[in-house]
Structure 1
Amino acid sequence: MFTGLLLTRADNAPPQAQVTAIDEASLPVGDVLVQVAYSTLNYKDGLAITGKAPVVRSYPMVPGIDFAGIVLESSDSRYRKGDAVILNGWGVGESHWGGLAQKARVKADWLVPMPAGMTAARAMSIGTAGYTAMLCVMALQAHGVTPEQGPVLVTGANGGVGSIAIALLARLGFEVHAATGRMNEAEHLKALGAKELVDRATLNAPGKPLQKERWAAAVDSVGSHTLANVCASLKYGGVGAACGLAQGMDLPASVAPFILRGVTLAGVDSVMAPYARRAQAWERLARELPADVVEANTETIKLADAPAVAAKLLQGQVRGRVLVDVNA
């Protein structure tokens, strides 16, 4: 038996979340059994736990789209008992029991080894949000974006993706502008590396198809009108990395930025990203994101606190990252 957060739902009623004892025999089929040390709360976890969106495909479900821990058993030669591993995505916490529990059984293909120098707590303080931020940075660099081309905008700056993106970009020498609805968090965002703050109210309503050229690139986790306005405000040849939909999954934009300014919109997916890209992202996070920056951007909670904090996360009341100690 082990402890986990279990979601259940009766008919079409909202899901109920309860920390309870779970029999190991109830775990889904997989190649590797992991003793989970830490998980985290991402935006998708908030949707799953609260039922605000149909993220969970079947019930009962252990939510949690990522985790870090130690291998207990493995039938796959790539992993042995005692190996430290990380998991992000692959439908875990949605269609396959996830990381908000003390144990998880998953496919070996979904895991990556813990990079040298990384701990489970630090890995989940970064979590899927931070890993996604690194994928966005990699996408910008793959399209040739350099600091000399001008400032980079990060939307949703106080969120998990945004906060880590600011820290990563600033340490690569970029001038980072941070778009947020919480201007009172200026001190925190500037400590992460932001040079200028942008009120999100200037981006989240319908705007002109082409606007003043302001940014060489952008990392957007918001979508909808915000992303449309970002694209309209990119410099000639600018690149936007889109990875989220906090405002909405629509894109009420025009083709003008793309055909008149040569703007590129690069989609970034963290759920099904191939192994090589995942491993590269985590190796870079281990090297490029200082531990003290991660710690200052992280709140640690107990497993029992996850439902309440998930609701706050969706209301925009959580700053940075949330680390969940599943053994506390």
Structure 2
Amino acid sequence: MFKAILLEESDGKVSAGLTELEESQLPEGDVTVAVEYSTLNYKDGMVLNGLGRLVRSYPHVPGVDFAGTVEESSHPDYKPGDKVILTGWRVGEHHWGGYAEKARVKGDWLVPLPEGLTTKRAMAIGTAGFTAMLAIMALEAHGASPDKGEVLVTGAAGGVGSVAVAVLAKLGYHVAASTGRAETHAYLKDLGAATLIDRQEIAEPSGRPLDKERWQGCIDAVGGATLACVLPQIAYRGSVASVGLAGGNKLETTVIPFLLRGVNLLGIDSVLSPPPERREAWARLVHELPMDKLDGMINDAKLADLLTLGGDILKGQVRGRVVVDVRA
């Protein structure tokens, strides 16, 4: 028997509870992992609250991320005792996830835990930090560099934003961090933000097709009107990496920034990121994310805490990274 958060559906309503399951109930897969830590992402909040039709069938164990130790394996790349990470691949959505003491998945979905990283710190990074690194890699591939001006990070106090600010600052970028929570200003400054932007300043487009060139690039976790406001302020041939939709999934804008300034709008998908890209991103995170800054982002939690935290993250009330010790 092992502990797990189990979601069940009745009359169209989804309920979540802490329960015990048997190993025989685990789904198919060639690697069984003793999960040590998981984490909480915005998508997890949606799944825990039955939103977005992300889960195909119930009962369901959520949790899109986990890290732990291989218990059993018929996959050629993994053996018992190996430390591994999983993010993405629709785990926690279409496939049972990491909010449990055991998980069974396809070995092809796993990444070996990089040397120098613990399973707890891996989950402090999680999908959010992994996505932030992919966004930075995309900006770099399209010409971003520390000598070209300021980079804006929206939703900066959240999971993606926190890691993005810390890594960009470590790489030498001048980082502008946007947040609507004044109480996070000291936290963001400590992560390396050079400038703080009130989110209301970029909450609505000006109505002009182009505004003054303000940022060389942006990592945007908000979407909606904020993204529409930012695009006309991106410098010539700058880029916006779009990673989230906390402010809405509709984008009402013009094509003028793309045509007259050569602005790039880069979609960042971490779920189906190919294995070579995954390994590169995790290797870079180990070296380019200051571990003391990462530790300062951590909010420790237990499985039972997720029943409340899943709603809090949807309301924007979670700062930094929630790390869930599934064994506690």
1:231 and 1:24 map into 2 onto residues whose CA distance is 49
Letter in 2 for 1:162: G
CA distance in 2, matches of 1:135, 1:307: 29
> If the length of structure 1 is used for normalisation, what is the TM-score?
0.98
Q: Is the 8 A contact 1:6 1:19 kept in 2?
A: yes
Q: Tell me the number of residue pairs that the alignment of Structure 1 and Structure 2 aligns.
A: 327
Q: Which residue of 1 aligns with 2:324?
A: 324
Residues of 2 paired with 1:140 and 1:57: CA distance? 34
Question: What corresponds to 2:57 in structure 1?
Answer: 58
Cα offset, 1:250, TM superposition:
1.2
Q: Match for residue 81 of structure 1?
A: 80
CA deviation vs aligned residue, 1:255-292 (integer Å, no higher than 9, x gap):
01000111011111000000000011111111111221
Residue 293 of structure 1: how far off its partner (Å): 0.8
* CA contact 1:183–1:197 (8 Å) conserved in 2: no
Cα distance in 1 between the residues matched to 2:76 and 2:21: 28
Q: C-alpha separation between the residues in 2 aligned to 1:232 and 1:123?
A: 36
Share of identical aligned residues, percent? 55
Match of 2:258 in 1: 258
Find out whether 1:136 has 2:173 as its counterpart.
no
Question: Deviations 1:214-265 (Å, cap 9, x if unpaired)?
Answer: 0000001111111111111101111111111111111111101000111011
Match of 1:314 in 2: 314
Cα distance in 2, alignment partners of residues 265 and 243 from structure 1: 11
Consecutive aligned runs of 4 or more in structure 1 exceeding 4 Å deviation: none
Question: Counterpart of 1:173?
Answer: 172
Whichever residue aligns with residue 192 of structure 2, its letter is G
Residue 231 of structure 2 aligns with which residue?
Answer: 231
1:44 is matched with 43
Given that 2:2 and 2:22 are in contact with CA atoms closer than 8 Å, whether structure 1 keeps it comes out as yes
The one-letter code of the counterpart of 1:44 is K
Question: Structure 1: any 5+ residue segments left out of the alignment?
Answer: none
Counterpart AA for 2:24: A
Distance 2:150 2:205 in 1: 23
Distance 2:187 2:317 in 1: 14
Question: Residues 237-316 of structure 1: matches in 2 within 5 Å?
Answer: 237-316=237-316
Equivalent residue, structure 2, for 1:211: 211
Look up the SS of the partner of 2:71 in the other structure.
strand
Contact 1:240–1:266 (8 Å) recurs in 2: yes
User: C-alpha distance in 2, partners of 1:221/1:162?
Assistant: 7
**CA–CA distance in structure 1, aligned partners of residues 2 and 265 of structure 2:** 44
Distance, in Å, in 2 between the alignment partners of 1:162 and 1:3 is 31
Contiguous gaps of at least 5 residues in structure 2: none
Measured after TM superposition, the shift of residue 112 of structure 1 is 0.5
Instruction: Give a deviation string over 1:68-124, Cα, whole Å, max 9, x none.
Output: 000001111111111000000111010100001000000111100000011000000
Render the CA deviation track for 1:30-63: whole Å, top value 9, x for unaligned.
0100000000000000011012332222111111
Shift of 1:314: 0.8
The AA in structure 1 aligned to 2:255 is V
> CA separation in 2, counterparts of 1:206 and 1:56?
34
Look up the SS of the partner of 1:259 in the other structure.
Answer: helix
Aligned residue in 2 for 1:29: 28
Q: Which amino acid aligns with 2:49?
A: T
The answer for the alignment partner of 2:111 in structure 1 is 112
C-alpha separation in 1, matches of 2:277 and 2:79: 22
- Give secondary structure in 1 for the equivalent of 2:253: coil
Q: Distance in 2 between matches of 1:57 and 1:313?
A: 22
Partners of 2:35 and 2:321 lie apart in 1 by 18
Distance 1:206 1:145 in 2: 24
Q: For 1:300 and 1:50, how far apart are their aligned partners in 2?
A: 21
User: How far apart, CA to CA, are the structure 1 residues paired with 2:66 and 2:289?
Assistant: 19
TM-score calculated relative to the size of structure 2? 0.98
C-alpha displacement at 1:204, in angstroms?
2.2
User: CA separation in 2, counterparts of 1:186 and 1:28?
Assistant: 44
Counterpart CA distance in 2 for 1:6 and 1:103 is 13
